[in-house]
Amino acid sequence: MNTSPVIPGREAIQLETSDVILDGDLTVPPDARALVVFAHGRSSRRSMRNRAVADVLHAARLGTLILDLLTECEERADVVTGSFRFNVPLLAQRVVGAVDWAEKSAPTLPIGLFAANTVAAAALIAAAIRPDAVRAIVSFGGRPDLAEDSLDLVVAPTLLIVGGSDPGIVELNQDAYERLHATRELQIVPGATYLFDEEGTLDHVARQAREWFVRHA
C-alpha cells in the first residue's frame, strides 16, 4: 500500500486494498483540520455532485479523498448485474482499506466518511471495524439499514440525511437511527428525492456535512 505522507494540494492517487487497486483524487487544503473520505460506488471521482460537496468542505479546511470503490471493469459489470453495488461486505472491506491508508498517510488528520446509497452501510461497517480511526460519518440518501448488526457497534457521530419525497428510504433510515447508539441525527429534507436533484437540496447536504465534520471530526 502506498502510504507516502500527504501534502497540501491536489493529486491523483492509487490506493492498494487487499484485493484491488482503487483510484482516488486527494485534495488537502493548507492547515487542514480533517480528511473526509468520499466512499461511493461507481464513478465517484467523475461525479460533479461529489465535486460540488467537496468544494464546500475545502472552504472549511476539510481535506477530501474522493474514491472509486469499484474498478472500471467492476463498474461495467455492475451496470448490467448490480452485483457489486449490493455487495456490502466487499465495499466495507474497501472502505476499511481507505481508512487504513488515511491513517498511515495523514496520521495527524482525523478521518470522516461521506457516503451514499448502499455504500453508506459499508461506511458504517468500516466505522465499526475501525472505531478508533473514524471520527464522524455523514450518509445522504443512503441505506444504513444494510449495515445490520454493525449499527450497534458504531461509536462515531453519525448524520443521516434523507429526502422527504423518498418515503421508503426515510423509513429505512428511521429504523437505522433507532439502532445507532452513538451521537446521531436524522435530517429529512422536504421535497428532496433519492438523488437530491431538486434545487437547493444538494447545497443543503453540503452545508450540513460541513458542519457535522467540523463539529465532530
pLDDT at 3 over 60: no
With bands split at pLDDT 50, 70 and 90, how would you rate the model's confidence at 72? confident
Average pLDDT for residues 48-56, to the nearest whole number?
93
Instruction: Please write the tens of the pLDDT for every residue from 26-35.
Output: 999 999 999 9
Query: How far lies 53's CA from each of 62, 104, 183, 184, in Å?
Result: 11, 25, 23, 21
pTM: 0.94
Judge contact between 22 and 94, C-beta under 8 A. yes
Rounded mean pLDDT of the chain? 93
Contact 171, 178 (CB under 8 A): no
Instruction: Give the DSSP H/E element, type plus range, for residue 57.
Output: helix 48-59
pLDDT score for 80: 87
What percent of the chain stands above pLDDT 70?
96
Please report the pLDDT score of residue 5 as a whole number: 67
Q: Take residue 12 and report the three cell numbers written for it.
A: 491523483
Q: Under CATH, domain 9-216 is a member of which superfamily?
A: Alpha/Beta hydrolase fold, catalytic domain (3.40.50.1820)
| Boundaries of every domain in the chain | 9-216
For the stretch 114-132, pLDDT in tens is 999 999 999 999 999 999 9
Query: Using CA atoms, how far apart are residues 135 and 182, in angstroms rounded to an integer?
Result: 11
